[in-house]
Structure 1
């Protein structure tokens, strides 16, 4: 039987989360299984190397927490939340709304069309040179 070492008891939860690191350029999905105001236990589907500090975004709470890695096991990791950055507004999290995703798809489709046009022009120039 282990002795509880946490200052705040963690409540059992099942929340989707997303870990962001490398200045937002890298991210990993996770499940938040236990959570308190001071930390959480996270389950990761990927065996990834994480930095000591990262942002944990929880869409259902519309919050981003600045987290610090405390322990790692096969079944997950334990983190504590930095004081002062405990509950940032959702606006500081990456914009993952449906509107933003649809806008990004539109941008990529336009870029794809422009690349096709350029490729077609290059093929015509090459064919006429032969």
Structure 2
């Protein structure tokens, strides 16, 4: 793919020398595309090794031990965090209602004092 794109890459920094072709790209765009392509190819090259690692019994045993021993406390702490966030949300709604009522009372008090009657 990069060989095909290299033919459409303008090596000159002057846009007028490159022409006004929509299909041409500058050297910076080409090098960025080349970097991304190389990165993706590296990931694809690592995939077979990672697949072998997942099939390894040692890794499966380690993951099962983590799930059995560490997920229960994680569930407890996530539930405690959820309860704390819900309590904070209820408190903030209550506080907002009280604040709105107080603002309405202050607003009505100021308008009465401005009244000439």
TM-score by length of 2: 0.36
The structure where helix makes up a greater share of residues is 2
Mark the structure with the bigger radius of gyration. 2
Structure with more contact order per residue of length (Cα contacts < 8 Å, sep ≥ 6): 1
TM-score by length of 1: 0.33
